[in-house]
Amino acid sequence: MSQVPPAHPPKIALKNVHKAFGSKVVLNGIDLEVGRGESLVVIGGSGTGKSVMLKCVLGLLSPDSGSIRVDGEETTKLRPREREKLLHKFGMLFQGAALFDSLKVWENVAFGLIQGEHMPRAKAKDIAIAKMGAVGLGPEVGELFPSELSGGMQKRVGLARAIADEPEIIFFDEPTTGLDPIMADVINELIVKCVKDLGATAVTITHDMASARKIADRVAMIYQGRIIWTGHANDIDNSGNPYVDQFVHGRGEGPIKMQVRAL
Amino acid sequence: MGFLAATGRAFLIFLEATGKLGLFTATALSHCVRPPLYPRQILRQMIDIGYYSLPVVGLTALFTGMVLALQSYSGFSRFQAEGAIATVVALSVTRELGPVLGGLMVAGRIGAAMAAEIGTMRVTEQIDALSTLSTNPFKYLVAPRLIAGLTMLPLLVLVADIIGVFGGFLVGVYRLDFNPASYISRTWEFLEPIDVISGLVKAAVFGFMVSLMGCYHGYHSRGGAQGVGAATTNAVVSASILILVWNYLITGIFFSTK
């Protein structure tokens, strides 16, 4: 965090955020800060509230209580129009890529430019093809439909779409899940490169430690709806925290017990 | 006591669902009238609902008109009222059978497709993706479907009216040996504008209901393939029931004073 000038508020700051679905408490007082231009990786098991946390920041879910600030501005009480404006700052790569299957690949990549920023289609297509080039896809792929692509290719398209309108903040939801180790590494490299090129702030949630080591400046561990540890990426192997230790080394035995029911 | 608790719980669930649907409808309607609209999406839905439903709605209307002529002949001939067949066919098709059967066929065809498409978009996070790309899902997905349903079903039903009357004409002339000219003049003789207009108003309401149910159930679907399947079923069933209920209500409004 030392690289953040003190005059700037943190890019994203969550304070005491709670969220429950019915009687099931998912977020139980999350406190987390992400500095400008920093790449934070949030690790944690399945069903510990990682995705819910991201969706609360994006406003896809509204937290029950607590404060979420982006660039120092409180976002939990935003009206829909202001929310739409705020979301211009964000890009997101979804776990299953979430490409629009009724649209061609280039239309997917250009979607935010055409619909969100009302750019002419021809101009948006040029930008889309350039962004696809940045993630290693040739222009001929643009004319295909998402269902014709492999999982790894879909992730690349999702990444191109997330960076197309040059967001200040990018979220990655389990970017390597379901990919073979080589494709996973390719995606990791692309994420690091894209984030650096844009100078963006990145938050990645994952349970893939190889991915976390590659992407992260800083790592936070979430367990039972709370952040139980944060630290520099290099300190992850000697965190001194038994929960983090168990997770990082993937041991079945330890303080973390398996969750039976989905959240 | 168990019985009372169960009744109360069912009532609460009913109230919650009604409120949820009311909010959904209000939000969707507000996005139908506030710019920006998405002309491409509206056009795509109009083609889907209007043009591609023509064959199924047309066939339904044709056979309805034909069977209506046949049935009323066998009934009316018992008291020598065969002359009324053309009028009965025209009135029944324009007032009732065109909009209701057309609406039900479209509910099966379009309502199901909408629920399945939007439901799949929900469970694969495509709706969330829309939001993160600064596009309001109500504006992009729901409003175009509501507008298309509201405007296209009346046009479909107008075509269905013509085809239905033509079906009656075919049976009347070629099977029951009516004089073509007198069948046509009989058709026009008692047909009033209100008969056709009431049918078209019904069609607009039914089209709105079909789109609304398709979008609502798709939008709120949960939990993978099974959830999408349930959303599809619910969309078709609820749209069909709403069509039948509103058919009665609108008929009451138009014709109760006569």
Q: What is the DSSP string of B106-155?
A: HIIIIIHHHHHHHHHHHHTTHHHHHHHTT--HIIIIIHHHHHHHHHHHHH
Instruction: Give the nearest chain A residue to B127 (CA atoms).
Output: A98
Indicate the number of domains in chain B: 1
- With beta carbons less than 8 A apart as the criterion, state whether B56 and B39 touch: no
Q: Does A67 reside within a domain?
A: yes
- With beta carbons less than 8 A apart as the criterion, state whether B149 and B207 touch: yes
Q: Does A60 reside within a domain?
A: yes
Q: Say yes or no to pLDDT of A1 above 70.
A: no
How many whole angstroms from its chain centre is CA B152?
10
Q: Does B227 reside within a domain?
A: yes
Q: Does B99 reside within a domain?
A: yes
- With beta carbons less than 8 A apart as the criterion, state whether A91 and A171 touch: yes
Q: Which domain holds residue B99?
A: 39-253
Which whole-number Å values give the CA distances from A207 to A44, A80, A173, A248, B81, in the listed order? 6, 32, 10, 9, 80
Q: What tens digit of pLDDT does each residue of B38-56 get?
A: 888 899 999 999 999 999 9
Distance (Å, whole) CA B156 – CA B107: 13
Q: Does A263 touch chain B (CB under 8 A)?
A: no
B125 and A96 in contact by Cβ < 8 A? yes
Q: Does B73 reside within a domain?
A: yes
Which whole-number Å values give the CA distances from A186 to A168, A190, A211, B171, in the listed order? 23, 6, 10, 70
Chains A, B: CB pairs < 8 Å: 56
Q: Say yes or no to pLDDT of A263 above 70.
A: no
* Facing B135 at nearest CB: one of A85, A98, A116: A116
Half-sphere exposure of A31 (CA within 13 A, CB side): 4
Mean local confidence (pLDDT), A55-70: 89
Chain A residues closer than 8 Å to B38 by CB: 115
- Where b means 16+ CB within 10 Å and e means fewer, B234-244 reads bbbebbbebbe
Q: What tens digit of pLDDT does each residue of B114-159 get?
A: 999 999 999 988 999 998 888 888 999 999 999 999 999 999 999 9
Q: Does B27 touch chain A (CB under 8 A)?
A: no
Q: Which domain holds residue A70?
A: 1-85+211-263
Pick A215 or A8 by higher pLDDT. A215
Q: Say yes or no to pLDDT of B67 above 90.
A: yes
Q: Say yes or no to pLDDT of A186 above 80.
A: yes
Q: Which of B41, B133, B141 to mutate to test binding with chain A, by most A CBs within 10 Å of its CB?
A: B133
Q: Does A96 reside within a domain?
A: no
Q: How many distinct helices (H) and strands (E) make up chain B?
A: 12, 0
Q: Does A172 touch chain B (CB under 8 A)?
A: no
Spatial CA neighbour of B101 closest among B150, B153, B149 = B153
* Facing A111 at nearest CB: one of B36, B125, B133: B133
Residue type (1 letter), A12: I
ipTM surpassing 0.90: no
Q: What tens digit of pLDDT does each residue of B196-250 get?
A: 999 999 999 999 999 999 999 999 998 888 899 999 999 999 999 999 999 999 9
Confidence label for A261 from pLDDT (cuts 50, 70 and 90)? low
Q: Say which residues have a Cβ less than 8 Å from residue B87's Cβ, sequence separation at least 6.
A: B186, B187, B189, B190, B191
Q: Does B111 reside within a domain?
A: yes
Indicate the number of domains in chain A: 1
Q: What is the CATH number for A227?
A: 3.40.50.300
Q: Does B139 reside within a domain?
A: yes
* Facing B126 at nearest CB: one of A98, A118, A165: A98
Q: Does B247 reside within a domain?
A: yes
Chain B residues closer than 8 Å to A99 by CB: 126, 129
| d(CA A200, nearest CA chain B) in Å | 16
Q: Does B17 reside within a domain?
A: no
Which whole-number Å values give the CA distances from B128 to A54, A60, A104, in the listed order? 11, 7, 19
